[in-house]
Each structure stands twice: as structure tokens, then as C-alpha cells.
């Protein structure tokens, strides 16, 4: 039952960041700053949604017929059609909300990335009790940043293309339930790339190497990704716990290297 033990350990590791941050007060400023940034970003997102709500709702439901039926018996087919149209409009509205939510989630994480990177470095330094390597030259730092940006583009492109493939396959009714399960599992295994990605950056792992690393430790990553996925399902909790998950992801990478965490 090794897979069950490792999955459970990976799940707990996602939340071990709470205890670690609690023990090391020097990390708090690097944990609080990303939280504040995300609160500001999501407050802006909510304000924009409220301000443009009528436009968003109109975009989602503008196709619905507005002309009332001319006879009373026409309601027998007009009413079901209107209900179906209302349901489709509601689904489109929810879809727009989800897209907006994840756009601002990505924006907040991107803005907070420099602070999260420092947080991950400090966590590694405390666990290993050694200073983290600094870039020797400006040119070396520029190359590392450029490679990291390229990896981010590859990571997001890979995620979107795979999810698009799942979505296309899900259009076949016989495959819809299966694709929903597969897409969820894929997302769960993808999330460690996001939250353990800073520690992987420090090891100069390229995108293909990161995928191999995730698969090599798939049960640990599955547990960690499941905890992160459940966090993302709770609005507001996800960005409050962002530093916790990054700390947990860093500890997870250190654990795979044999560190006592």
C-alpha cells in the first residue's frame, strides 16, 4: 500500500506549510505580501464584475427571445424553450465568471511571483541550513529568467492544449463522464508544477524535466495536487493559502531529496 501512504503524505505536505510558517516568523513578510497582492487583485476583479454585471449578463443572455407569444397555447412550447435558453444563459454566465476568476488568479500569482520566489528560497535555506546560491553574473541571471519565462509559456500552453483535447472528447456523450474524471486527475497532477515550481526553478529544471519529476513521484504529487485542488474550489481561500501551498510545495521537493521536513 505504498501508493496510499505516499498519497496521504503528499496531501498532508500541502498543509505543512502552515506549521512551518508559524515556526519561522522571518518568513511572514514574504508570505503576507503575496496575500495582500491577491486580495487587492481579487477586490479589483469583484469591483469590475459588479460594475460590468449588466453587460456580462447581457452578453450571456442576449440571444434569448424577448417577444411574448401571440396566443395562450403558444406558451406550451415557448415556456420550455425559454427555460432552456435561460439555463444556457446561466451556464454561459457561470463560464464567464470562471474564466474571469482564473484570469485574475493567474494575474495575482504572476504579480506575487517575485515574493513567492524569495519565500521558497528562504524556506530551502531554513531546512538545509545553508545559503541559497545567488546568480554569479547579470548575464547568468538574465538567462535564468528568460528560461523560466519560456518554461512558464510551455507549461500554460501544455495545460491549455491538453484541457482543450479533453473538452473536445467530452463533446461525445459516451466519453463525457470519463473525460471529466481524466481532466480532473490531470489538473491535480498539474498543480504541483505551479506550487512546487519555484523550488524546481532553483534547481534549473526545464519543463520536460519537471514533468518527469512529477511522474517519478506521482503518488506524492497526486496527494499534494488533490489538497491544492480542493483549496482552489473554495473562493477566497485559494489566494489566502497561496504562500502556504508554495511553502508546502517547496517542502515537498526537499522531501523527495531526503531532507527532514
pLDDT profile of the chain (261 residues), mean per 10: 84 89 89 84 78 67 60 66 66 64 68 83 86 47 54 72 77 71 83 88 83 90 91 74 91 89 73
The count of other CB atoms within 10 Å of the CB of residue 37 is 21
Question: Measured between alpha carbons, how far is residue 83 from residues 41, 64, 214, 244 in Å?
Answer: 35, 10, 45, 44
Does 79 map to a domain? no
The pLDDT score that the predictor gives to residue 249 is: 93
Q: Rounded distance, CA 67 to CA 171, Å?
A: 32
In a domain, 188, yes or no: yes
Total number of domains constituting the chain = 1
pLDDT tens for each residue of 4-25:
888 888 899 888 888 899 899 8
The pLDDT, as a whole number, for residue 254 is: 93
Q: Is residue 155 part of a domain?
A: yes
| pLDDT, position 3 | 78
- Examine residue 81 and state whether it is found in any structural domain, yes or no: no
* Residue-level pLDDT at 135: 44
- Would you state the pLDDT for residue 248? 93
For residue 241, how far is the Cα from the chain centroid?
Answer: 12
The three grid cell numbers given for residue 152, joined into one nine-digit string? 512558464
Q: Which pLDDT score, from 0 to 100, does residue 95 have?
A: 61
Per-residue confidence (pLDDT) for residue 77, from 0 to 100 = 63
Q: Contacts by 178-186 with C-beta closer than 8 Å and gap 24+?
A: 184/229, 185/222, 186/162
Establish if 97 belongs to a structural domain: no
Examine residue 71 and state whether it is found in any structural domain, yes or no: no
Amino acid 140: pLDDT = 47
Does 73 fall in a domain?
no
* Residue 223 lies inside a defined structural domain of this protein: yes
Domain residue limits at 246? 2-52+114-256
Amino acid at each position: 500500500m505504498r501508493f496510499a501512504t505516499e498519497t496521504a503524505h503528499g496531501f498532508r505536505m500541502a498543509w505543512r506549510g502552515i506549521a512551518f510558517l508559524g515556526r519561522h516568523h522571518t518568513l511572514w513578510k514574504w508570505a503576507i505580501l503575496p496575500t495582500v497582492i491577491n486580495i487587492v487583485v481579487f477586490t479589483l476583479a469583484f469591483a469590475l464584475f459588479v460594475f460590468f454585471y449588466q453587460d456580462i449578463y447581457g452578453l450571456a443572455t442576449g440571444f434569448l427571445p424577448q417577444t411574448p407569444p401571440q396566443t395562450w397555447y403558444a406558451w406550451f412550447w415557448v415556456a420550455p424553450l425559454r427555460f432552456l435558453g435561460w439555463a444556457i444563459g446561466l451556464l454561459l454566465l457561470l463560464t464567464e465568471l470562471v474564466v474571469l476568476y482564473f484570469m485574475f488568479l493567474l494575474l495575482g500569482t504572476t504579480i506575487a511571483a517575485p515574493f513567492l520566489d524569495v519565500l521558497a528560497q528562504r524556506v530551502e535555506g531554513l531546512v538545509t541550513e545553508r545559503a541559497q546560491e545567488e546568480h554569479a553574473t547579470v548575464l547568468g541571471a538574465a538567462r535564468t529568467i528568460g528560461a523560466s519565462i519560456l518554461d512558464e509559456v510551455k507549461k500554460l500552453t501544455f495545460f491549455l492544449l491538453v484541457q482543450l483535447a479533453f473538452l473536445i472528447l467530452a463533446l461525445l456523450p459516451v466519453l463525457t463522464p470519463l473525460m471529466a474524471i481524466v481532466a480532473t486527475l490531470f489538473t491535480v497532477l498539474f498543480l504541483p508544477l505551479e506550487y512546487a515550481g519555484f523550488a524546481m526553478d532553483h534547481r534549473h529544471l526545464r519543463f520536460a524535466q519537471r514533468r518527469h519529476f512529477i511522474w517519478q513521484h506521482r503518488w506524492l504529487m497526486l496527494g499534494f495536487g488533490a489538497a491544492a485542488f480542493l483549496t482552489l474550489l473554495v473562493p477566497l481561500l485559494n489566494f489566502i493559502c497561496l504562500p502556504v501551498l508554495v511553502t508546502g510545495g517547496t517542502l515537498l521537493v526537499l522531501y523527495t531529496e531526503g531532507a527532514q521536513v
